[in-house]
C-alpha cells in the first residue's frame, strides 16, 4: 500500500456503520478510494464491473439482507478473479459459529464493532498499520 | 484478546532468537512454538507433538534457503481441523512467484520483515496490536 | 382426574409463558441495541464536528445525552444478562475455591483502599460446579461492597464454609448498609438505593446474583452487620440439578 492506493470495498447495510467507517478512515488519514455496497448481491455487482482495479481489501458485515456476509464470502472464494482478496469481517455478532464460518472461509481478521466511536477509531488505526505492513 | 499458542516456522536461527526477544520485550502473553522445517511444523500441528490447544496463528518465514513454506500452507488449507488457521507469511526476500502462490492460498498477510533487527520490535508491535483487536473462534484441544 | 389435568395444564402454561418472556426480553434488549449505538455515535460525531470551541452549554448537553444513552445501553445489557442467566456459561467444571475468590478480587476496580479479610472452613478446596456462575455471584457481591462503600478505608470480609450438602458463603462490609425500608426492593432489577447520578451503576448485579443462586437451588439473604454495614449470605448446593 505504498505507491498506489488500493481500492477498498465496504459491504455494510447500516448507514450509521458506513458513516463510522468513513469518519474513522478520515480521522486516520486513510485516503484509499472506498466503495460501499449495501449487501452481498450489490457487492458482487460492483466487483464485476464497477470497481477497477479490483479492491485488495474488503470489509464486510455478516448480518445483511438479500445475501449475508458468509454467503457473500463463499461466492467470493469460488470465483477465480476474486478469491484472493483479503477480507476483514466487521460485525456485531459475537457468535462462535459465525467466527468459525468466517475463518473457514479464510478471512484475514474478524473484528467486533466496538461500542464507542473512540475505540473504533483506534481499531481502524491498528488496521491501517497492519495494512501498511502487508504486500497486496 | 490473543489466542494461547502461535507457531513460528523459520529455519534461520538468528531470526528465531530475535523474534523470541521481540515477543518477550513486548510482553506478548501467548506461547510461541518453533519449527525449523515444514515436516517439523506439520508434526506440531497434527502429529505426534501436537500443540494443544491448536494454534490460531502461524508465522511462516519463507524463501529462506530451502524453506518455501508453500507446501506446508497447501497442506494446512486442505486439513479440516487446520484449514481455518490464520497464516502470516513473513519474508525478507523479493520473490513475487511465491507471493502470488501464497496469496492464492488465502493467507492473512504477506509481510516484509525489516532487514535491520532493531526494527523488529516495531514490526511485531504492529502485528501484536492487530492480533489483539481480532476475535478468535473457541479453542480446540 | 380433573385436578391432575388442570395441574398439568397450569404447569405447561407456566413453562410456555416463561419461555415467551425470556424470548421477548432477549429480542427487545438485543434489537434495541442497534439504534442505541447509533445515537451514541451520532452524538459523538456532532460533538466532534462542533469542536472544542463550541458553546460550553451545548457541549455539556451532549455529554449528558451520551451519558444517558450509555445508561440505557447498560440497562439493556443488564436485562439481556438477566434473561440469559440459565442459557449461557452453564459448564460444570472443577473449581478451586480460593483461586476463584482471588480471581474475582483481581478483576475488581478501585480496590486500592480495600482490605480483604478471607476465612475458609473447607474440607476440600476443589469442587465441581458451575464455575462461571459462582464467579459472577462472588464478583457482583464484592463489586457492590466496594462500589457502595462510603468510607476512605474499606473492609470487606469473605467467609466460606463447607457443609455436607452445600457451601455457606458470606460477604460483608463496614459500609453504610441498606436502610430497612428498602431492603425488600434491592433484588429488583435497576433498583438503586441512591440516585444513579450519585453512584453510576445499573443496579442489576444483585438481581442477576439472586437469580443464579435460586437457579442452583440456594438462597440469598441480606442482614445488617453489628457496625450497620451489609452482610450478604447465601448457600451454594454441591449438587446442582437444573
Asked if A92 lies within 8 A of C34 by C-beta distance, the reply is yes
Q: How large is the average pLDDT for residues C64-91?
A: 83
- The whole-number pLDDT of residue C204 equals 84
Disruptive mutation site among B135, B138, B140 for chain A (greatest number of A CBs within 10 Å)? B135
> Chain A partners of B85 at a C-beta cutoff of 8 Å?
103
Shortest distance between the Cα of A48 and any Cα of chain C, in A, equals 31
| Helix B70-78 / helix B38-46 crossing angle, nearest 10 deg | 20
Instruction: Supply the ipTM of this predicted assembly.
Output: 0.90
Q: In angstroms, rounded to a whole number, what is the distance separating the alpha carbons of residues A87 and A76?
A: 10
Identify the closest residue of chain B to A77 by CA–CA distance.
B106
Q: In angstroms, rounded to a whole number, what is the distance separating the alpha carbons of residues C80 and C96?
A: 29
> Chain A partners of B131 at a C-beta cutoff of 8 Å?
none
- The whole-number pLDDT of residue C194 equals 66
Query: Residue A127 pLDDT > 70, yes or no?
Result: yes
Over residues A63-97, the pLDDT tens digits come to 898 999 999 999 999 999 999 899 999 998 888 88
CB of C213 closer than 8 Å to CB of C236: yes
CB of B73 closer than 8 Å to CB of B107: yes
- The whole-number pLDDT of residue B93 equals 67
The three-state secondary structure class of C34 is helix
Chains with 3 or more CB pairs under 8 A to chain A: B, C
What are residue A57's phi and psi, to 5 degrees? -130, 130
State the pLDDT confidence band at C200, using cuts at 50, 70 and 90. Answer: low
pTM: 0.74
Q: C-alpha A33: how far from its chain's center?
A: 13
CB of B134 closer than 8 Å to CB of A111: yes
Query: Residue C13 pLDDT > 50, yes or no?
Result: yes
Q: Which CATH class is domain C92-237?
A: alpha beta
Disruptive mutation site among C29, C44, C66, C87 for chain A (greatest number of A CBs within 10 Å)? C44
Over residues A96-114, the pLDDT tens digits come to 889 999 999 999 999 998 8
What are the percentages of helix, strand and coil residues in chain A, rounded to 5? Answer: 45, 15, 40
Residue C109, classified by CB atoms within 10 Å of its CB into exposed (0-12), middle (13-18) or buried (19+), is exposed
The percentage of residues in chain B with a pLDDT greater than 70, rounded to a whole number, is 87
- The whole-number pLDDT of residue A118 equals 85
Q: In angstroms, rounded to a whole number, what is the distance separating the alpha carbons of residues C46 and A45?
A: 34
Query: Residue C43 pLDDT > 80, yes or no?
Result: yes
End-to-end alpha carbon distance in chain A? 7
CB of B59 closer than 8 Å to CB of B72: no
Structural domains in chain B, sorted by start = 5-133 (3.40.50.2300)
Query: Residue C50 pLDDT > 60, yes or no?
Result: yes
Q: Which residues pair with A110 in a beta bridge?
A: A89
Over residues B77-124, the pLDDT tens digits come to 999 889 889 999 888 766 667 778 888 888 999 888 877 767 788 899
B and C interact (at least 3 Cβ pairs within 8 A): no
Domain boundaries, chain C: 3-83, 92-237
Of A119 and C28, more confident: A119
- The whole-number pLDDT of residue A1 equals 43
Q: Is the C-alpha dihedral spanning A34, A40, A41, A47 positive or negative? A: positive
Q: Does C37 touch chain A (CB under 8 A)?
A: yes
- The whole-number pLDDT of residue B64 equals 62
Q: In angstroms, rounded to a whole number, what is the distance separating the alpha carbons of residues A11 and B32?
A: 35
- The whole-number pLDDT of residue B140 equals 63
Q: Is the C-alpha dihedral spanning B45, B51, B52, B53 positive or negative? A: negative
The percentage of residues in chain B with a pLDDT greater than 90, rounded to a whole number, is 22
Asked if A115 lies within 8 A of C40 by C-beta distance, the reply is yes
Identify the closest residue of chain B to A122 by CA–CA distance.
B133
Window A:75-134, CB contacts with B under 8 Å: 77, 83-84, 86, 94, 96, 99-100, 103-104, 106, 108-112, 123, 126-127, 129-130, 133-134
Q: What is the CA radius of gyration of chain B?
A: 14
Q: In angstroms, rounded to a whole number, what is the distance separating the alpha carbons of residues C108 and C192?
A: 20
Query: Residue A2 pLDDT > 60, yes or no?
Result: no
- The whole-number pLDDT of residue C110 equals 77
Neighbours of A94 (CB within 10 A): 9
Amino acid at each position: 500500500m505504498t505507491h498506489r492506493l488500493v481500492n477498498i470495498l465496504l459491504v455494510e447495510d447500516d448507514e450509521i456503520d458506513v458513516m463510522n467507517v468513513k469518519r474513522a478512515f478520515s480521522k486516520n488519514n486513510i485516503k484509499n478510494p472506498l466503495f460501499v455496497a449495501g449487501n452481498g448481491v450489490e457487492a458482487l455487482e460492483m466487483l464485476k464491473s464497477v470497481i477497477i482495479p479490483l479492491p485488495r481489501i474488503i470489509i464486510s458485515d455478516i448480518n445483511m439482507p438479500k445475501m449475508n456476509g458468509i454467503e457473500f464470502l463463499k461466492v467470493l472464494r469460488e470465483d477465480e478473479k476474486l478469491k484472493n482478496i483479503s477480507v476483514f469481517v466487521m460485525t456485531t455478532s459475537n457468535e462462535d459459529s459465525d467466527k468459525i464460518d468466517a475463518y473457514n472461509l479464510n478471512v484475514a481478521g474478524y473484528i467486533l464493532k466496538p461500542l464507542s466511536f473512540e475505540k473504533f477509531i483506534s481499531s481502524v488505526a491498528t488496521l491501517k498499520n497492519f495494512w501498511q505492513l502487508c504486500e497486496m | 484478546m490473543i489466542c494461547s499458542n502461535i507457531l513460528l516456522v523459520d529455519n534461520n536461527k538468528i531470526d528465531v532468537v530475535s523474534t523470541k526477544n521481540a515477543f518477550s520485550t513486548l510482553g506478548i502473553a501467548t506461547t510461541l512454538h518453533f519449527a525449523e522445517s515444514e515436516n517439523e511444523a506439520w508434526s506440531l500441528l497434527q502429529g505426534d507433538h501436537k500443540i494443544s490447544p491448536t494454534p490460531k496463528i502461524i508465522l511462516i518465514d519463507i524463501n529462506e534457503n530451502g524453506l518455501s513454506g508453500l507446501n506446508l500452507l497447501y497442506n494446512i488449507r486442505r486439513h479440516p481441523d487446520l484449514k481455518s488457521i490464520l497464516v502470516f507469511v513473513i519474508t525478507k526476500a523479493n520473490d513475487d512467484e511465491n507471493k502470488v502462490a501464497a496469496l492464492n492460498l488465502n493467507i492473512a498477510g504477506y509481510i516484509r520483515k525489516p532487514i535491520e533487527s532493531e526494527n523488529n520490535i516495531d514490526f511485531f508491535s504492529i502485528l501484536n496490536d492487530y492480533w489483539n483487536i481480532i476475535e478468535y473462534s473457541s479453542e480446540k484441544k | 382426574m380433573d385436578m391432575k389435568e388442570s395441574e398439568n395444564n397450569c404447569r405447561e402454561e407456566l413453562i410456555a409463558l416463561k419461555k415467551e418472556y425470556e424470548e421477548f426480553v432477549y429480542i427487545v434488549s438485543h434489537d434495541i441495541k442497534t439504534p442505541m449505538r447509533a445515537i451514541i455515535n451520532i452524538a459523538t460525531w456532532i460533538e466532534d464536528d462542533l469542536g472544542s470551541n463550541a458553546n460550553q452549554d451545548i457541549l455539556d448537553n451532549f455529554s449528558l445525552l451520551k451519558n444517558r444513552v450509555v445508561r440505557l445501553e447498560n440497562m439493556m445489557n443488564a436485562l439481556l444478562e438477566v434473561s440469559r442467566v440459565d442459557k449461557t456459561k452453564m459448564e460444570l467444571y472443577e473449581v478451586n475455591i480460593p483461586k476463584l475468590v482471588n480471581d474475582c478480587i483481581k478483576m475488581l476496580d478501585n480496590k486500592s483502599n480495600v482490605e480483604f479479610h478471607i476465612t475458609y472452613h473447607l474440607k476440600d478446596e476443589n469442587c465441581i460446579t458451575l464455575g462461571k456462575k459462582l464467579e459472577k455471584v462472588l464478583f457482583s457481591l464484592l463489586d457492590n461492597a466496594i462500589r457502595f462503600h462510603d468510607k476512605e478505608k474499606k473492609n470487606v470480609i469473605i467467609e466460606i464454609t463447607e457443609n455436607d450438602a452445600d457451601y455457606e458463603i458470606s460477604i460483608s462490609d463496614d459500609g453504610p448498609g441498606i436502610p430497612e425500608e428498602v431492603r425488600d426492593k434491592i433484588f429488583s432489577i435497576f433498583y438503586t438505593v441512591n440516585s444513579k447520578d450519585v453512584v453510576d451503576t445499573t443496579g442489576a448485579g444483585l438481581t442477576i446474583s439472586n437469580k443464579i443462586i435460586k437457579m442452583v437451588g440456594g438462597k440469598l439473604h441480606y442482614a445488617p452487620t453489628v457496625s450497620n454495614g451489609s452482610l450478604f449470605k447465601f448457600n451454594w448446593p454441591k449438587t446442582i440439578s437444573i
